[in-house]
Structure 1
Amino acid sequence: MEWRKLNEHISSELEMNPELGIIRAILMKSYDGLPYHLKSCFLYMSIFPGHYSISRRRLVHRWKAEGYSSEVRGKSKGEIADGYFLELIERSLVLPYKESIGSRKGISSCKLHDLMREISISKAMEENLVFRMEEGCSLNTQGTIRHLAISSNWEGDQSEFESIVDLSHISLKLAKETPITADMEREPINRRDVCTFYCCVVFPFLARLADPLGVAVPRGLRKLKALHTLGVVNIARGKAILQDIKRLTRLRKLAVTGINKKNCKEFCSTLVHLSSLESLSVHSKEEGLGDCLDGLSSPPKNIQSLNLYVHLDKLPEWVSGLQNLVKLKLEDTRLTEVDGTIRVLGKLSNLSILCLLRRTFEAEGRRLSCRREAFPSLTALETGWYTGIRSVLFEEGTAPKLELLLDRGSISFSGLSCLPSLKEVMIRMDPQLANDVQYQLSRNPNKPVLKFV
């Protein structure tokens, strides 16, 4: 209770309590010791409300889009920005809030301690980096302000707003984390930065909102040479779409729908040119596409995430060569062979997350066997409703790093006691299955936890 009161009145406590003043001085030294690039990233976090869980992924994307990171020695802006996130965690300026079991990155979100947030807010205002319009704030500003954050408790009117904000130089950002964020640049707008932001963040976001089944892209898409993310695009809506996509050689994330027998060959040819691709998602509602994706002779070697929602009958042969693949999601693929599929997937040395969802396999009642030495890097396995799988067997020596097992169907498991890293099993509430799973977990030296979904 005392700490809760302190958090609610931290500003006044800092003024009245000399011990807290000493703590604040120590924390200020930690801030002063930061290199310039980390200071900017830390101060940027003052945009977010107090006690807010800040998504690592969204924060990194925002740093990247707003020019807080740049490519260095072959590393992308995103990799550099992600390194900044981890460095702030290591320096204890930011608190890790949530760690995702099964995620190779581990920490998925963070928070600012109230004391650090106070420092972040005050220094960001001193540096004219962020100005916060909130209850009780002073509307006097000095110089050019880069970001404006408007809190939900600010009750000013339009005249007050216009007295501080030059509307001719304001650019609103799409941001779920805060009520409004904006740039207040009185200098000429950098067109390259604006294009980067819209190409990397806004256009993909609007495309997903406009039509979840895929949109027809506008003419001239090929001119966006620096585009990193594109999706979801319906490649059946225009003849020139694939030719445009083929020229986007810096694409890292692509999601398409509308695959059919007429365009699948050209689609495979397009993928060969996207050597920077790291994430690929393919959707189609057309029946019986069979080996339509086998025409991909040389898949992008850097693919780390692959989502297939296509009626294929069998796994494309090139999947076996994706040695950098970390995450694989299969749904409605209706694969006819279980053992052969699992043998291929079990040999992928970096596969960490495997999701076998609705109608992954064609026939019902199949047994999935994970053999010795298979899935060396798997940390999370998810199975869904009507996957075609009746039971799963883990042999001793398989999946040595598996931490999370999630089943939304009613699959029976055996060999759970042989999984040395297992931490958590989540299943549907089925008394018979639950008793069996609980018995196996009790024999596992790691003492995994059983939960219900």
Structure 2
Amino acid sequence: MAEIAVSFVLDQLFPLLRDKARTLQGAHKEFEDVKDELESICAFLKDADTRAAKDNNALDDDGIKSWVRQLREAAFQIEDLVDEYLIYQQQWPSHSGIAASLCKAASLIKNLKRRHRLASDAQDIKSRVCGIKERSERYGFHCSSRESHSAKSHDTRMASLFMEEAEVVGVEAARDELIGWLVEGTTDRTVISVVGMGGLGKTTLAKKVYDDTNVIANFECRAWITVSQSYTIEGLLRNMLDQFYKERREAPVPAAVDLSRMDQESLIEEVRSYLQQKRYVVVFDDIWNVNFWGQIEFAVYDNKKGSRVMITTRSMNVAEFCKRSAFVNLHNLRPLSQEKSWELFCKKAFRFDLDGRCPEELADISFEIVKKCKGLPLAIMAIGGLLSTKEKKAIQWRKLSENLSLEFEKNPHLSGITKILALSYDDLPYNLKACFLYFGLYPEDYLVNSERLIWQWIAEGFVKHEKGKTLEQVAEQYLTELIHRSLVQASIEVDGKVESCQVHDLFRDLIVRNMEDLSFARFVTKEDQSPIVGITRRLAIANSPDDFIGSLSSSTRSLHVFRVEELSETFLKSIVKKCRLLRVLNFRDAPLGQVPENLGKLLHLRYLSLRNTDIRTLPKSIGKLQNLETLDLRQTRVREIPKEINKLKKLRHLIAYHLNFKVDFRMSWDWEKGVQMNGAVGSLTSLQTLCLVKANHGGVQLLSELGKLNQLRSLALSHMKREYGSVLHVSIREMHHLETLEITAIDENEVIDFPLVSSVPQLQHLRLRGKLEKLPDGIQQLWYLVRLSLSYSKLGDDPLEVLQDMPNLMHLLMYDAAYEGKSLHFREKRFLKLNELTLKNLYGLNSILIDKGSLPNLKRVKLENIPQMKKVPFGIRHLVNLEDLYFVDMQNELVESIDPIGGQQHWIIEHVPIVYVRHKVGPKNFRFSTRPLHNNGIAALLKCFGECELSIFSEFSSLTKAHEISK
């Protein structure tokens, strides 16, 4: 939307006018006037954008859409001018001496010329913006609140309310759970929330529950209220009273009482009076406003008769808000399984012919179509319904499948789906719109690491400062908000943090259309033949990059390459020459062997990823990138960081290491390569992430310098020596925000020895790789520690005695000779929060004792290559919440004993939903064959994979995120 572009410009102009008033001189007044005009125009943008987006608008591209485009382009022009001026400021000489004076004199002449041009350009923009504002009056724009979307969704919602039983698929378990919550349980009023993305069938599910005979019999009065985005509390309360009277066939409200004249307070009193002695159930369908419960809670008050309120919403925040004054049962509605998706599709596509069965010649293409719907019932039903009207010919169906994105936009049978999904996008504030649109820069079905995404959002300027929080923390809030609004699907780590995320394919189609229409971004693939026309702010290329050299310009703010086969020198030179204002440059996985020497000319660059490329060195010009915030050198051949990098005062994240997948990690200590840091690294005072640095290069001096980095959140050191312990202890005492610490000794016999609790009481993730004479002093007092990883510790005493009472430990990994004893004992009522347990390459261990009442929250256990263990731990039968159990490279005697056919110990693990066995096969270190024992429906899925890659690095999901490499 133009709202996004203009708001970004205003965000830049405010600090510029505040901080640079003196240096802007003649241009300052012009910029002030432009700012004022843009602020006044912003009041009309929602109305303009809404009307521009309407179909069949009388004012077409020569009208409203043209006006919006002109305003957006003017905003881009202002942003470019501001950024150009900031480059000019950075290049102003700052040295002293005679030579510097001569340089300044020469620069003064250029300075005057540039200021004159700046003032002239600002005047031109001012005139252009004023003209745009005048033209807005011609179209009658006005400052309006968000348009009501209830009319748009009327048809689909009506269909959901009156859907036949035969068309409802895959909701049986959810329906039974919701009915149980309604008719059973506490006598206190309870709110039952059904949460999920648009099109998942929340309304359909709620209506089936509402109309269930058991529900009807258990409540004295009922009401179904459709809320949507446009509502008044007064209207909802009047509707509720009308339904109560109609439901009980009671006389209408006495003539003396006129509901239409009652105010909100009177209506609340009327509802409370009516419900005082009745067990009621009220459904509020399609709630958007997070404050809704606060507006309605006093009407549906708690009469202690087991009354229930059910809400359906796309926003988790709406559901969570109810917890402030009510018991809440929350059902997070999920997409249909592949099996149920297929069943629903066949019911719709072949309902009136072929007895609901898919003919063999259409099976493959039908399955492709169903897969593209990703379990979204609304899409499955719409496409199935459309195909039911088509001839049953594979060639026609394939054409529709290949152009499904276009069909959703143009076909009247499917366009309603897009409108339903668009409601969630339209409801976003402008800064979250930009963050959501950014997902369009990634390929379809691409899992985006959350840290990577957040760092790019920050580099783009999407994230606003909030007092007392880092930009990363604010960005995490943005991502959480998108997840809670059911717009983004996420993989969550044990500590509740988002590990990776993606958007549904249908949402991605919506994103791609919007971001191209708004000149926000373009994602180009091999199939894209048409050239890019006009301004494109951000460009993602999954094609031959040379084809798009002509599309690079000073307007390009971000450049991403994906799965390209070649990067020519011409293309690389064009980036530096044409994209002077670039902020994000993402070369991850690209065939890149060398970084351009003049990379330092990209003075606005904030995010640079060279991850998984073949580069060996960084140019010295990298020291000129004064705005660089993130430098990602993971899986490169860079072994030394030039001292020039210490000039980068804004650098927040420096990640550089190489993992050697070709060696057997059990035989090679040095499979993990860090980098050498040179010079005064203590000058990098903005650093939050530093990984993986060789401690022996620089030694005591380097570790002492680290003490100046008091903003560090994550630190990883390799080649650590025992003699450095006291210096490291002093330095990390200054790191008051440190959350993740990883220490690797210089070799497997070197002892890691330094106290912990007095240094890092706030630590959440700890990984120690090296010999420990004992567990570090104070480790059991790390109250916030969530994840602990130990390897090569060679501990003789059972470490569980020390670790068992850690209050927040959720993930424990012990591997590679971390423990040399024969037995581990998990005692009763210990490890109360542990969620995941990994024991691997423990060569002396022969038994694991698990007392009843221990590990009450354990959900995943992985036992790998423990050669002395011949029997499955008996205590596994006590782990009632265990969900996943892995046996990897374990002894045949143990594996045979748990086989469901004839295994005498199978009864110990038969309560676990997913159990499977893996054995390493072939010459590769990490290739395994998988055999599921019992898995509640996933056997077919695993058999499809046959042999699968199992990366050992999935165990290191703290700072290094090494597991992500395998993805």
**TM-score band w.r.t. shorter chain:** 0.7 to 0.9
Question: SS at the partner of 2:421?
Answer: helix
* Structure 2 counterpart of 1:323: 783
Contact map agreement 1:130 1:148 (CA 8 A) in 2:
yes
Moved more, 270-279 or 234-243: 234-243
* Structure 2 counterpart of 1:451: 916
Question: SS at the partner of 1:11?
Answer: helix
**Counterparts of 1:58 and 1:422 in 2: how far apart (Å)?**
32
Question: SS at the partner of 1:72?
Answer: coil
Supply the AA of the counterpart residue of 2:691.
G
TM-score of the aligned structures, taking structure 1 as reference length:
0.85
Are 1:347 and 2:805 matched, yes or no?
yes
Are 1:358 and 2:358 matched, yes or no?
no
Q: Given the superposition, is the C-alpha separation of residues 328 and 149 from structure 1 closer, same or farther in structure 2, using an over 3 Å criterion? A: same
* Structure 2 counterpart of 1:24: 418
Q: Given the superposition, is the C-alpha separation of residues 389 and 228 from structure 1 closer, same or farther in structure 2, using an over 3 Å criterion? A: same
Contact map agreement 1:67 1:193 (CA 8 A) in 2:
no
1:316-338 per-residue CA deviation (whole Å, 9 max, x = no partner) reads 11211111001110000111211
1:223-267 per-residue CA deviation (whole Å, 9 max, x = no partner) reads 111101112112221142112100000001001122223322111
1:132 is displaced (CA, Å) by 3.0
Contact map agreement 1:221 1:244 (CA 8 A) in 2:
yes
Supply the AA of the counterpart residue of 1:141.
G
Give me the CA root mean square deviation.
3.3
Contact map agreement 1:360 1:388 (CA 8 A) in 2:
no
Contact map agreement 2:657 2:692 (CA 8 A) in 1:
yes
* Structure 2 counterpart of 1:216: 676
Q: Given the superposition, is the C-alpha separation of residues 40 and 148 from structure 1 closer, same or farther in structure 2, using an over 3 Å criterion? A: same
Contact map agreement 1:417 1:441 (CA 8 A) in 2:
no
Supply the AA of the counterpart residue of 1:195.
L
Supply the AA of the counterpart residue of 2:813.
C
Give the one of 832, 836, 857 matched to 1:376.
832
* Structure 2 counterpart of 1:194: 627
Structure of higher RCO (CA pairs closer than 8 Å, 6+ residues apart): 1
Question: SS at the partner of 2:704?
Answer: helix
* Structure 2 counterpart of 1:278: 739
Are 1:123 and 2:537 matched, yes or no?
no
Are 1:132 and 2:523 matched, yes or no?
yes
1:104-127 per-residue CA deviation (whole Å, 9 max, x = no partner) reads 337643332333112212222333
Give the one of 50, 58, 61 matched to 2:452.
58
Are 1:33 and 2:427 matched, yes or no?
yes
* Structure 2 counterpart of 1:262: 723
* Structure 2 counterpart of 1:149: 540
Question: SS at the partner of 2:628?
Answer: helix
Supply the AA of the counterpart residue of 1:49.
P
Supply the AA of the counterpart residue of 2:914.
V
**Counterparts of 2:679 and 2:405 in 1: how far apart (Å)?**
54
Moved more, 211-220 or 41-50: 211-220
Contact map agreement 1:307 1:328 (CA 8 A) in 2:
yes
* Structure 1 counterpart of 2:876: 416
Question: SS at the partner of 2:720?
Answer: coil
Contact map agreement 1:399 1:419 (CA 8 A) in 2:
yes
1:66 is displaced (CA, Å) by 3.7
* Structure 2 counterpart of 1:184: none
Contact map agreement 2:815 2:839 (CA 8 A) in 1:
yes
Mark the structure with the bigger radius of gyration: 2
Moved more, 11-20 or 169-178: 169-178
**Counterparts of 2:515 and 2:884 in 1: how far apart (Å)?**
41
Contact map agreement 1:310 1:331 (CA 8 A) in 2:
yes
**Counterparts of 2:719 and 2:627 in 1: how far apart (Å)?**
31
Are 1:252 and 2:713 matched, yes or no?
yes
1:205-233 per-residue CA deviation (whole Å, 9 max, x = no partner) reads 34558994432212131111110111211
**Counterparts of 1:387 and 1:379 in 2: how far apart (Å)?**
24
**Counterparts of 1:136 and 1:383 in 2: how far apart (Å)?**
52
**Counterparts of 2:892 and 2:820 in 1: how far apart (Å)?**
28
Contact map agreement 1:418 1:444 (CA 8 A) in 2:
no
**Counterparts of 2:744 and 2:809 in 1: how far apart (Å)?**
21
Question: SS at the partner of 2:916?
Answer: strand
Q: Given the superposition, is the C-alpha separation of residues 262 and 12 from structure 1 closer, same or farther in structure 2, using an over 3 Å criterion? A: closer
**Counterparts of 1:385 and 1:140 in 2: how far apart (Å)?**
57
Are 1:167 and 2:579 matched, yes or no?
yes
Give the one of 181, 195, 204 matched to 2:654.
204
Question: SS at the partner of 1:333?
Answer: coil
Give the one of 219, 222, 225 matched to 2:685.
225
Kindly, what percent of the aligned residue pairs are identical?
26
1:13 is displaced (CA, Å) by 1.1
* Structure 1 counterpart of 2:476: 82
1:398-442 per-residue CA deviation (whole Å, 9 max, x = no partner) reads 111101100112334220111121011101354431354566664
**Counterparts of 1:248 and 1:164 in 2: how far apart (Å)?**
35
Question: SS at the partner of 1:293?
Answer: coil
Contact map agreement 2:408 2:417 (CA 8 A) in 1:
no
1:22-53 per-residue CA deviation (whole Å, 9 max, x = no partner) reads 22122222211111221111011110112222
Supply the AA of the counterpart residue of 1:197.
T
Contact map agreement 2:820 2:842 (CA 8 A) in 1:
no
Q: Given the superposition, is the C-alpha separation of residues 375 and 297 from structure 1 closer, same or farther in structure 2, using an over 3 Å criterion? A: closer
> Please, which runs of 5 or more residues in structure 2 have no aligned partner?
1-364, 373-397, 557-577, 593-601, 607-624, 632-647, 661-670, 919-967
Q: Given the superposition, is the C-alpha separation of residues 106 and 394 from structure 1 closer, same or farther in structure 2, using an over 3 Å criterion? A: farther
Q: Given the superposition, is the C-alpha separation of residues 321 and 65 from structure 1 closer, same or farther in structure 2, using an over 3 Å criterion? A: farther
* Structure 2 counterpart of 1:183: none
**Counterparts of 1:177 and 1:48 in 2: how far apart (Å)?**
13
> Please, which runs of 5 or more residues in structure 1 have no aligned partner?
181-186
Supply the AA of the counterpart residue of 2:529.
G
* Structure 2 counterpart of 1:301: 761
Of Structure 1 and Structure 2, which has the larger fraction of its residues in helix? Answer: 2
How many residue pairs align between the two structures? 438
TM-score of the aligned structures, taking structure 2 as reference length:
0.42
Are 1:406 and 2:862 matched, yes or no?
yes
Contact map agreement 2:658 2:674 (CA 8 A) in 1:
yes
Supply the AA of the counterpart residue of 2:585.
K
Are 1:235 and 2:695 matched, yes or no?
yes
Question: SS at the partner of 2:508?
Answer: helix
Supply the AA of the counterpart residue of 2:728.
F
